[in-house]
Structure 1
Amino acid sequence: MSETHSSSPGGIALVSPLSASLGFADAISGIAATAAQREREQRLPHEEIAALKALGFGALRLPADDGGHGVSLRELFAVARDVAAADSNIAHAFRNHFWQVEAALERREHPFHAHVLDLTRRHKTIGLSFVESDAKAAGARPSAVLSRLEWDDRRQVYVGTGDKVYATGNLYNDAFVGLAVESRANGTVQYVLERGEGVGTGDDWQGFGQRLTGSGTARFRNVVVKPAHVYAADPPKAPEAAPWGFTFHQVYLTNCIAGIVRRVVLDAVEVLRARRRNFYHGEAAQPADEPALQALLGRIRAYAASIEASAVRAVEALQRAAESRGTRDDYASALAATLAASEAKVVIDDLAPQVASWLIDLGSGSVVSTAAALDRHWRNIKVIASHNPRLYKERLLGQNLLTGQLPPTGAFF
């Protein structure tokens, strides 16, 4: 079966006109063509991610006159969805970077965020170096201060050591940001650490899906942070500001799943075209002419369209929230966005694995070979969906209707 995907006769395309107009068509198509091979070989996509960086993928949101592509938030998600359709590992690996850029665009006058934007302008990507434990008590709020920078008087630099668990994308990032306690004043600072000596390059991620995101442990051992790259912490938000600051993260992941499901549709077309033998009890000589299989392909297409529409609805709500920031509609639009994100996740997390399973039904025994790696779609969907489980979203949505209960405000909802 061919691993190239452009479009089907029904008009479902891997690459959107937007991505093509921005110059990403060849890169995205190339990523799609080699995705199954990378999966089989467990080959981390360093070259593919580097190629996207060079094209300015990480700088999509920067203004065109500032080294970026000047796209809107909704357009960012549209291009990221195309990349997820090609290889969801690669799209997922950029999530933390894109979030840092969004935060920096809001506060670009602050030197820390100006530094992030400067790195982005130079086609660098930024990850996280917060030192975390994955053993949090149920209901406990994670500490805001998760690491420490010790002053080295001899070298006149700061030195830090720690581990970041679930460090998605860090293997591919050029710099890392975090909060720390600065040893001289014993106060909280934020810093930018550029990749160098002491930054680990190992991959211990053991997930059964999204295997190539580098989502294991990022290790930092006596890394050096220049004093000029240590900054005052951001001031607290104004009391009237909307408290839901992490909706972006959830919408981004749900958007990645929508991209995978689009790829399932394209793979389903090729699977059915490639089948040469029908079951003896079928009604047609060729599987592509079999009514039952044509109907299943139609079902896959319809469900995929609904999944993508649900994701786009959440993206649109996030776009409106971004446009309302700082206005009197800030609170209401941010609340609407986090509820829309929850609604989309509940529906998509439920339906997307089913669509991926139907792909196997469509191909039957002819597609279970590891050579095609079609099982990766189901596995990748389930691993992405495991972030912030939908059960809690379902409960919140019900509570909100019954009592007006508001969503949690932390990063892990």
Structure 2
Amino acid sequence: MTIHSTFTNAVDYDSLAARFRPIFARIGQGAEARERERSLPVEQLGWLKQAGFGAVRVPLEQGGGGASLVQLVRLWIELAAADSNLTQALRGHFAFVEDRLNAPPGPDRERWLARFADGQLVGNGWTEVGAPALGEVQTKVTPEGEHWRLDGAKYYSTGSIFADWIDVYAERTDTGGKVIAAVSTHQPGVQRSDDWDGFGQRTTGSGTTLFDGARVDRNDVIDFASRFVYQTAFYQLNLVSVLVGIGRAIERDLSVQVRDRKRIYSHGNGPRAAEDPQVLQVVGQISAQVYAAEAVAISAAEAAQRVFDAHLAGDVEARHAANIEAELASAKAQLVVAELVLRSATELFNALGASAVRVDQLLDRHWRNARTAASHNPLIYKARIIGDWAVNRTEPPLVWKVGRGSGQTS
């Protein structure tokens, strides 16, 4: 493979992050207004595109940032602290980038890396709602001459409303094989709706996408079996990063609120909230929880990096062992980080007065956003899978399916 040492922390993180921190700051300035108005961050994602954020994992020599997976997670966390919706909106994009980085060298991979370096973004189109049975795929691709035709509907299509392409999980009508169809959004056969109705992460562009005779280039229908092996761990790392970023935002907003608070209680412990030892204890406890959550996220990212390194080395056995480790590490991270951040999102109110629950304060958004990110994959199953490995050495499932259970008709 022609992917070099740019993925082994050869790039200085602070120099890399310095390119984006002014943009993160601008994004953060409007985050509360977008939350209040449910305004999609179209302009803000445009800033990131222009700055090359979508290409940070692309090698330097191919126009990207040359970031390692650990560095990518650190950038995700910084962005999520500014606006957690944007980190999650880019989840599908970075997963497709990762897949192309793991693909065999050749014109197809080079074409995609050039697209990423050009600022093009990819959305997500995997999940179907309604009646499909477990493992069934109702979205179909059909060969039509020199291209393919894509028909179907996807929900939870995170980031697709902002994207130039959508990474669609579909089934071939000729062979029944499962594939990824990378479809351009710049055509009438693709219709995107902002109808996500969750109480949190409301501006991730996670609504419905319809495909009606959408054209897909023949080279952009990819056998799902060739998908990069650590995909499930990677997807979960993004959500963990979202949670850690929310944790950082909690610590930041709480510190400002305590510092500026004028009112105190007669049965308190100081002339100002900022000098009350018990209030400071709450802030310190949350700060420690966020610190721990970030350390766990970085550790899980290191495990995923080891899978990528083994893949580049061509060591299949080492890659498999590392992939199990990465999957378990991401599961453990989800359990621990979700608990720490959700606890912080509740405990912050212990350091503030009743006025902190006013709607215009928007402090509830931290819990709503964290709860939404933590609900994507049931944590109870993650705990069982971890325990089954610890006790029985049962390998974790590396590909998941969602659908109607047996005996159910709707």
Quickly name the TM-score band, shorter chain normalised: 0.7 to 0.9
Task: Give the Cα separation in 2 of the matches to 1:341 and 1:190.
Answer: 24
Contact 2:55 2:64 in 1 (8 A): yes
Which of 310, 314, 321 is the equivalent residue of 1:324? 310
Task: Give the Cα separation in 2 of the matches to 1:261 and 1:362.
Answer: 16
Residue segments in structure 1 that go unaligned for 5+ positions in a row: 1-15
Compared CA separation, residues 369 and 178, structure 1 to 2 (3 A): same
Aligned residues: 386
Which of 337, 355, 362 is the equivalent residue of 1:348? 337
Compared CA separation, residues 164 and 110, structure 1 to 2 (3 A): farther
Alignment of 1:144-155 (within 5 A): 146-149=139-142, 151=144
Contact 2:194 2:205 in 1 (8 A): yes
Instruction: Tell me whether 1:382 sits opposite 2:368 in the alignment.
Output: no
Task: Give the Cα separation in 2 of the matches to 1:193 and 1:60.
Answer: 22
Residue 17 of structure 1: aligned partner? 14
Instruction: Tell me whether 1:54 sits opposite 2:50 in the alignment.
Output: yes
Instruction: Tell me whether 1:233 sits opposite 2:205 in the alignment.
Output: no
Deviation at 1:101, TM superposition (A): 0.6
Alignment of 1:287-306 (within 5 A): 287-306=273-292
Q: Aligned letter for 1:268?
A: L
Alignment of 1:223-372 (within 5 A): 223-227=214-218, 229-231=219-221, 233=223, 245-325=231-311, 326-327=314-315, 328-372=317-361
Residue 171 of structure 1: aligned partner? 161
Instruction: Tell me whether 1:65 sits opposite 2:55 in the alignment.
Output: no
Bigger shift: residues 40-49 or 355-364: 355-364
Contact 1:130 1:147 in 2 (8 A): no
Task: Give the Cα separation in 1 of the matches to 2:283 and 2:247.
Answer: 13
Higher helix residue share: 2
Provide, for residues 255-279 of structure 1, a one-character-per-residue CA deviation record: whole Å limited to 9, x for no partner.
Answer: 2101110111111110101110111
Deviation at 1:141, TM superposition (A): 3.3
Compared CA separation, residues 202 and 294, structure 1 to 2 (3 A): same
Instruction: Tell me whether 1:194 sits opposite 2:187 in the alignment.
Output: no
Residue 206 of structure 2: aligned partner? 215
Residue 3 of structure 2: aligned partner? none
Contact 1:244 1:410 in 2 (8 A): no
Instruction: Tell me whether 1:141 sits opposite 2:140 in the alignment.
Output: no
SS of the aligned residue for 2:337 comes to helix
SS of the aligned residue for 1:204 comes to coil
Compared CA separation, residues 233 and 338, structure 1 to 2 (3 A): closer
Residue 100 of structure 2: aligned partner? 104
Contact 1:29 1:86 in 2 (8 A): yes
Contact 1:27 1:51 in 2 (8 A): yes
RMSD: 2.5
Deviation at 1:401, TM superposition (A): 1.8
Provide, for residues 330-376 of structure 1, a one-character-per-residue CA deviation record: whole Å limited to 9, x for no partner.
Answer: 12211111111111111111221110111222222232222231111
What is the TM-score with the length of structure 1 in the denominator?
0.86
Deviation at 1:202, TM superposition (A): 2.0
Contact 1:264 1:356 in 2 (8 A): yes
Deviation at 1:252, TM superposition (A): 1.5
Q: Aligned letter for 2:135?
A: R
Contact 1:163 1:217 in 2 (8 A): yes
Residue 85 of structure 2: aligned partner? 89
Task: Give the Cα separation in 1 of the matches to 2:297 and 2:221.
Answer: 36
Task: Give the Cα separation in 2 of the matches to 1:297 and 1:232.
Answer: 49
Task: Give the Cα separation in 2 of the matches to 1:281 and 1:80.
Answer: 42
Contact 2:124 2:159 in 1 (8 A): no
Task: Give the Cα separation in 2 of the matches to 1:179 and 1:346.
Answer: 27
Deviation at 1:127, TM superposition (A): 1.8
**Percent identity for Structure 1 against Structure 2:** 32
Compared CA separation, residues 187 and 141, structure 1 to 2 (3 A): closer
Compared CA separation, residues 375 and 103, structure 1 to 2 (3 A): same
